[in-house]
Amino acid sequence: MQITTFPNQIDDRSADTALIHSKPITVQWTEELRKTLGTYPSCKLLRELWNLDLYTRTVLYPLLIKGWGARRIADRLKVPIVTIQKLLETGREQLKKKLATAR
């Protein structure tokens, strides 16, 4: 099993990391998003989601596109739910700002 280390971008403690035991899911979701973006190239939401950093995109993609909740995402990625909740919170804010300026 491959392990990917996601730096905890929630706080300033760089030593604090979250391990995601499923690197292939990140690659799979990125490929799904790329294909969907190719199908709907004028969709601002997909374009701005694509432009987010990998970690934020990895948690926002299943929430926004697949309709998953935070618990399901945390279980799938094998990380604490609090990590997912904080990434979702900051990611949604980033996405809102990007979409507001893209108008």
pTM of the entire predicted model: 0.72
Type of residue found at 1: M
77 token code pair: 């990625």
The pLDDT score that the predictor gives to residue 26 is 86
Helices (runs of H) and strands (runs of E) counted in the chain:
5, 2
Domain that holds residue 81: 4-101
The pLDDT score that the predictor gives to residue 102 is 72
| Count of domains forming the chain | 1
Handedness of CA 40, 44, 50, 55 (dihedral sign): negative
Average pLDDT over the chain reads: 82
Helical (H) or strand (E) element with 13: none
Supply the Cα-derived Rg of the chain in whole angstroms.
14
List the end-to-end C-alpha distance of the chain, in Å, as a whole number. Answer: 43
The pLDDT score that the predictor gives to residue 97 is 93
Phi/psi at 18 (nearest 5 deg)?
A: -115, 130
Confidence of residue 96 (pLDDT cuts 50, 70, 90): very high
The mean per-residue pLDDT over the stretch 43-49 comes to 94
The pLDDT score that the predictor gives to residue 23 is 56
The pLDDT score that the predictor gives to residue 103 is 65
Confidence of residue 32 (pLDDT cuts 50, 70, 90): very high
Q: For residue 15, give the CATH number of its domain.
A: 1.10.10.10
